[in-house]
A and B are shown apart, each in its own frame.
Chain A
Amino acid sequence: MMELVLEIKKIPKTGLEAETIKPENFVNKSIKEIEKIEVCSGNGKITLGSIFKISGKTAKNPSEQKIVIVGDASKIKRIGEAMSGGEILLKGDVGPRLGEFMVSGKIIVEGNADNWIGTSMNGGEIIVKGNAGDYMGSSIRGTNRGMRGGKILVDGNAGGEIGYGMVGGEITINGTADSFVGSYMRGGKIVVGNVLMNRIGFSMNGGEISIIDKTFNVPFYFRKIGEEGGFMQYSGDQSFDGKGLLKVQK
C-alpha cells in the first residue's frame, strides 16, 4: 500500500465538507496536484493544501492507496463518501457523514466518530476504535431501505437510530447503543452489547438483532419463539406481523 499522509494544519472555524478525500481521487496525482484540490467551506472553496500538510506517496490504483489523516478531524464532514477501494486511517476524531454510500475499501478511526457513518453502505468496512454517534448504517431521509452490504464495527458506544432500514451487511457495537436499533430492518445483522432504552426493532420485518447483555429488557412487541445457542429468540415487530429476529443472550 502506498501511504499518503494528510496532517491537519488549519481547519476553518465553520467546518468543511471534504467528500473528495478518498483513495480514488488521489491515485496517479502528484502531491502538488492534490494540494490544489478544492473542498467546500463557508460560502466558498478552499484547497486541501491550505488545510493539510501533505506528504507521502500516491499509488496507481485505489486498492493500493492508503490515506492517513493526522490531527483532530472532528470538523471535517463526508470523508470517504462513495469510496470504492483503498484505505483511510484517521488517527484522531472525525466529523459526521463518514463513508456514506461506501462501495468497497476500509476506513479506520482511532478516535471517536460522529453521526451518519456508512449511510446506505453497499460494501467495504468501517472500524471505529472509540465511540460513534447517531444514525449509523442508516438509510437516507425519507426512505426506509438503507445499508445493503459491508461491515461497521464500533469498539466503544454508539448513539441512536442504528441500522435504520437495513437490508444487508453487518453492524457490531461492542459497547452500548442508546435506542432505536434496527428500525425498519429487512435483512442483515446487528450485534450490540446492550441497548440503553429498549426501543428496538421498530417496524422490523427481517434480519437479526443480537443483544449480548443478559439484563436487556425485551420490548413487549416482540414475541418469544424459542432459544438457540445460548440466546433466547423473539419475533417482531408484532405491531404489524413483522418477521424480524431478536436474540438476547441467556
Chain B
Amino acid sequence: MMISDVTCPVCGCGCDDIRVQLDDSKIAKVYGVCIMGQQKFRKSQSPERITKPLKKEDGKFVEISWDDAINEAAEILSKASHSLFYGWSETSCEAMKVGIDLAELTHGFIDGQSSHCHGPSIIGEQSVGIPSCTLGMVMNYADLVIYWGSNPIESHPRHMSRFSTYPRGIYSGEGRRDRKIVVIDTRKTLTANVSNLFFQIKPNSDFELISALRMVLNGKEIPDEVAGLNREEITKLADTMKNCGYGVVFVGLGLTHSKGKSNNVENLYHLVRRLNDFTRFNVIPMRGHYNVAGLNQVLTWRTGYPFAVDFFRGYPCYNPGETSVIDILARGEVDAMLSISSDPVSHFPKKCVEHLAEIPIISMDIVRTPTTELSDLVIPGVITGIDAVGTYYRMDNIPLIAKKIIEPPFDFTHSDEETLKKIYDKILEKKKK
C-alpha cells in the first residue's frame, strides 16, 4: 500500500511530499526522501530500537515494566529541587506542551537544542528584529539566494531543489537561471561548487565582513582587505545584494557559532534592515531539527520566552547565559534531568557532562546513545512522523502535521505526549500524598 504526502521527521526542511510503500504494515520503500530521511525511516524499524523500559541497577540495565518506569520517573522528578527538561527538537508540539507543564509543576527548567544552536539568532532577533519570509516566497520571488555559513547540500539535502535554487516559481519561471546563488563560507563546500559566486572568508571574520558591507552601502571607504576578501569582492557582494529584486540570506551555524555569535547575527540583521531601504531582503535561519522551531513557538506562546525558561520562582524567567542548558549544567544548578529526543552527553562541553554524571537522568529515546548509557532510566521514545501523529514547525515557522504510518514497536504507549502525561499525573499523585 502506498501512502502519499508523508512528512519526514529529520531536518528543518520538514518535507511533506514523501511517499511510503507499506508491505504488511511495515515500511518497505520510501520515495522522494533524502539520505538523512532514508536513515530515519530505516532506523524506525531497526533492531536498534529501544522497545522496553530500562532501569540501571548496579551499573547494568535491567528491563522493567512500563508502570514501574513511569513511577520511577515521577519519583526522580518529585525528589529533585531543580530539575531540567531538555531536548524536544525531534518530538511533537503536543509532547512539548506536557513538558512545559512538567517544568511548571516541578518549578524546573525547560530548554531545547535551539539554546546552543540558533540561540544566537534568536538573541540577535531580540536586539534588532528580523525581516523574514516563508520558503514559498523564496521559491516564487527570490532572485538572489545567499547561504552564509551554511552548506545545505550536506545539512539539508533537498533545500536547494525544493525551495531556493531550482524551483520554477511565479516570478522565477526560469528556475535556476532566474537566480543567483551566493555562498559565503570559510571553505569551499559542496554548495559553493554549485553557486554563482563564492566568497571564501577567513574563519571568525564574518563580523568584519558584515561591517564592511554596511560601510560600502553607506558610501564609506573600506580597507584593501577585510575578512580575507579584497575591496572589489566586497563591493561586488554589496552591489549584488543592493540591486537584487528579492534577496534571501540563509544563515547557518558558521555565523552563529563562530566568534562573536549573537553579535554576528545582530550585525547581519542590521545589514538586512539597511538593504530593505533599497529592495526586499529577508533572512531565514537554517533550523537543523525538524521541530526545533516548534519549541520556540510553543514555549513563547505559553510562557513569553522562546527557550531557556526557568520556573523556579513559580513564573517563567529567561536569561540566556544564566538559565540556558549549558550554563545551568556547568554551574551544577540542576539535580535531575529528563532528556527527550536528544543526546547531550555526546554534544555538551566536558564540564556539563561531568555534572550530568552526578545527577539522575531519565532518557526518552528511540535508540541507545551515550546519553542513554549514562542514564538511570531509559524510556522508549515514539517517533513523531513515523509511529505517531504530531504537530511540528518547519524552519520558516509553518506548522504542519507529521503523519503516523506504522505502529510503534510496543503497545504500552502511543506517543511521547502520552508518556509524559502519565509521568505528570504520577507526580501530581505523589504531591497529593
Contact = CB atoms under 8 A, between A and B. Distances in A.
B332 A238 contact: no
Interface in A116-157: 116, 134-135, 141-142, 144
A13 B212 contact: no
Main secondary structure on B side of the interface with A: loop
A221 interface: yes
B335 A239 contact: no
Interface string B193-212: 00000000000000110011
Contacts of A215: none
Interface stretch (B141-149, B158-166, B213-221, B413-421): B213-221
A13 B218 contact: no
A141 B126 contact: yes
Interface in A228-247: 237-241
A56 interface: no
B321 interface: yes
Interface stretch (A25-33, A37-45, A79-87, A187-195): A37-45
Interface string B323-350: 0000000011111000000000000000
B322 A96 contact: yes
Contact of A42 (B260, B312, B332): B312
A141 B123 contact: yes
B326 to A, nearest CB: 13
B319 A14 contact: no
Nearest to A184: B127
Contact of A43 (B106, B226, B333): B106
A240 B81 contact: no
Contacts of A15: 331-333
A183 B82 contact: no
A199 B322 contact: no
A183 B312 CA distance: 31
Interface residues of B, number: 38
A197 B208 CA distance: 12
B263 A240 contact: no
A240 B267 contact: no
Nearest to A15: B333
Contact of A44 (B81, B123, B126): B81
A97 B263 contact: no
A240 B210 CA distance: 12
B313 A238 contact: no
A202 interface: yes
Interface string B259-295: 1100100110010001000000000000000000000
Contact of B222 (A44, A116, A220, A240): A220
Contacts of A44: 81, 107
B263 A14 contact: no
A180 interface: yes
A115 interface: yes
Given A115-B321, A141-B319, A220-B226, A14 B218 contact: no
A144 B266 CA distance: 12
Interface in A185-239: 197, 199, 202-203, 219-221, 237-239
B107 A14 contact: no
B322 A97 contact: yes
Contact of A116 (B107, B207, B223, B322): B322
**Interface magnitude class on chain A:** 35 or more
A77 B223 CA distance: 45
Contacts of B313: 17, 40
Contacts of B319: 141
Contact of B81 (A43, A141, A202): A43
A14 B82 contact: yes
A166 to B, nearest CB: 15
Contact of B332 (A13, A237, A240): A13
Contact of A221 (B215, B266, B332): B215
A71 B150 CA distance: 48
A13 B212 CA distance: 47
Interface string B98-138: 00000000111000000000000001001100000000000
A220 B106 contact: no
Interface in A31-58: 40-44
Contacts of B220: 238
A180 B331 CA distance: 24
A202 B267 contact: yes
A140 to B, nearest CB: 9
B81 to A, nearest CB: 3
A199 B126 CA distance: 20
Q: Which of A40, A116, A183, A239 has the most CB atoms of chain B within a 10 A radius of its CB?
A: A239
Contacts of A202: 263, 266-267
A220 B334 contact: no
A42 B81 contact: yes
A238 B215 contact: yes
19 contacts: A12-B81, A14-B82, A14-B334, A15-B333, A42-B82, A42-B312, A44-B81, A141-B320, A179-B259, A199-B207, A199-B260, A202-B266, A203-B270, A220-B222, A220-B223, A239-B215, A239-B270, A240-B218, A241-B218
Q: Give the 9 A-B CB pairs with smallest separation, nearest first.
A: A42-B81, A43-B107, A239-B214, A14-B82, A221-B211, A142-B126, A239-B211, A14-B333, A42-B82
Interface of A: 12-15, 17, 40-44, 75, 77, 96-97, 115-116, 134-135, 141-142, 144, 179-180, 183, 197, 199, 202-203, 219-221, 237-241
Given A14-B82, A141-B320, A199-B207, 18 more contacts: A12-B81, A14-B335, A15-B333, A42-B81, A42-B82, A42-B312, A44-B81, A97-B322, A115-B321, A116-B322, A180-B260, A180-B263, A183-B263, A199-B263, A202-B267, A220-B222, A238-B218, A240-B274
